[in-house]
Each structure stands twice: as structure tokens, then as C-alpha cells.
């Protein structure tokens, strides 16, 4: 599927087959100033991706013509646009499947429209804010904050938005123990009612799999029992 990759900061694709929920979410986001392109099936969603400059996809998992997970996996192979899943499935295994498909965030049904709006606003704000122009190196890892990208051994890593934000925060605060609450507040800009510790643990596990030589024995991003996490390497800015 060929995507239109020119970004307009306000265009959102909403893929949800429940008509009442689709209307409610569309209205809420439209009143906030977003341009919402709504679809009830994957076929329509693919057409909308080609026709419009989509910045964020809000996607249900169970859809009449396929799986939202499969659709977003396809999207992620071709684009780094933001992906937010809506689902009634809330186990850790379900969350991992969503992040494996490339999700940047996850919200379970039923949910408050205000909570959804807060998530969308935070995701958009972080994606399109002007980053500082510098790079940070720590061992084999090199971070490019202004590009929202990172390298390992000279090769670019494929990171989700949350993984990139975690890596950036740790590398800008090396050799410091960071509590779970500090990470939740810094990365998601919201309190524990919106993102729980399981979500944080899943993202850290997946980040380790991409940056560590041996994820089962991490040398960079370590647990500090009862206190939080630490990036246990010095970092140099350039």
C-alpha cells in the first residue's frame, strides 16, 4: 500500500466499526481542531491513507474485513506515523501484540473521551515539537533527538514512538536512577491513571531487545530493584 507521507499535523484517521463510538470520537477530536477521516473497515482506511496527509491512526483491533493489528503492521513497514489502538482486550499479552504491530500507545474500552483526547494531544505535541539540534553517543548507541532516530553500531534502529522517547530520556539522564513514576510523567506527560507500570515494562523490555547485545543481561539499561531504572553508561553530546 502506497502512503501519502506529507504530514499535516492535524489529520487523523479513525478506523472503528462501532458507528456510535466512531461518531463520538470524531466529534470530540473535530471540536479540538483535528481533521478526522473516519472509516469502518480496512479497505476504506487504506484509501483514506492514500488520499490524505495522515499524522495519526486511531485503530480498533477487531474489524469486519480483517485485523487492525495486521493493518497497522503493514502501515508500520512503510511509515512512522503515529498509531493508537482502541480495544476491549487488556491483558499483558494483548498489549504486547499491539506494540509488536508497531503501536505507539494503547487504550482499552470503555474509555473516557477526555482520556483519549489527552493521549492524542500528548502524542501530537511530542511528535511535532521542535527538538534540540544535537546528537548523543553512549557506547554503540547514537541518538539523534532532532530526527527522532537512533543508531546501533552505525545502523539505524527501528523504534516505536514510545521506545524512542524512552531511549532519549534515559540517554539525556545517564547514570541516574529514574523511578517508574518519573518515567511515566516524563514520557507520557500524564499520571498513572492513563498509563500503568505494565505498559512501561513492556516498552522497556522491547527497547532492550533492540539496543542490548544480550537483552537477558542488560549492560546499558538496568533495573535497580525497588527503585526504578538506570542508563548505566556515560553519554557524550555533540
**CA–CA distance, 76 with 238 (Å, rounded to integer):** 30
Alpha helices for 142-225 (secondary structure H): 161-171, 180-188, 197-211
Give mean pLDDT, residues 184-202: 67
3-state DSSP assignment of residue 52: coil
In this predicted structure, which of 93-102, 104-113, 124-133, 161-170 has the lowest mean pLDDT? Answer: 124-133
Residue 174 main-chain phi, psi, to 5 deg: -70, 155
The CATH number given to whatever domain includes residue 140 is 1.10.10.10
Are residues 100 and 142 part of one domain?
Answer: no
**What band does 196 get if pLDDT is binned at 50, 70 and 90?**
low
pLDDT of residue 105: 87
pLDDT top residue among 25 and 87: 25
Output the pTM of the full model: 0.55
- Residue 143 φ/ψ region, left for φ over 0, alpha for ψ in the -120 to 50 degree band, beta for the rest: beta
Lookup result for grid cell 553512549: 138
Note the pLDDT of residue 235: 93
Domain that holds residue 79: 11-128
pLDDT at 221 over 80: yes
- Contact between 32 and 108 (Cβ < 8 Å): no
Any idea what the CATH number is for the domain that residue 55 is in?
3.40.50.2300
Q: What is the mean pLDDT of the chain?
A: 85
Amino acid at each position: 500500500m502506497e502512503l501519502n507521507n506529507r504530514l499535516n499535523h492535524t489529520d487523523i484517521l479513525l478506523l472503528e466499526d462501532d458507528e456510535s463510538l466512531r461518531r463520538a470520537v470524531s466529534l470530540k477530536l473535530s471540536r479540538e481542531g483535528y481533521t478526522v477521516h473516519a472509516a469502518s473497515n480496512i479497505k476504506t482506511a487504506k484509501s483514506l491513507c492514500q488520499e490524505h496527509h495522515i499524522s495519526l491512526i486511531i485503530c480498533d483491533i477487531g474489524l469486519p474485513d480483517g485485523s487492525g493489528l495486521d493493518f497497522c503492521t503493514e502501515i508500520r513497514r512503510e511509515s512512522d506515523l503515529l498509531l493508537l489502538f482502541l480495544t476491549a482486550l487488556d491483558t499483558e499479552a494483548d498489549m504486547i501484540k499491539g506494540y509488536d504491530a508497531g503501536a505507539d500507545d494503547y487504550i482499552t474500552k470503555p474509555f473516557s473521551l477526555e482520556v483519549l483526547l489527552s493521549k492524542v494531544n500528548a502524542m501530537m505535541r511530542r511528535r511535532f515539537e521542535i527538538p534540540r539540534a544535537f546528537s548523543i553517543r553512549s557506547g554503540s548507541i547514537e541518538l539523534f533527538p532532532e530526527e527522532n532516530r537512533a543508531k546501533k553500531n552505525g545502523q539505524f534502529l527501528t523504534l516505536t514512538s514510545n521506545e524512542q522517547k524512552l531511549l532519549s530520556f534515559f540517554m539525556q539522564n545517564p547514570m541516574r536512577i529514574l523511578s517508574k513514576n518519573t518515567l511515566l510523567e516524563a514520557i507520557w506527560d500524564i499520571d498513572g491513571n492513563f498509563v500503568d507500570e505494565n505498559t512501561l515494562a513492556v516498552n522497556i523490555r522491547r527497547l532492550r531487545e533492540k539496543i542490548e547485545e544480550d537483552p537477558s543481561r542488560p549492560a546499558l539499561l538496568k533495573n535497580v530493584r525497588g527503585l526504578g531504572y538506570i542508563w548505566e553508561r556515560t553519554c557524550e553530546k555533540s
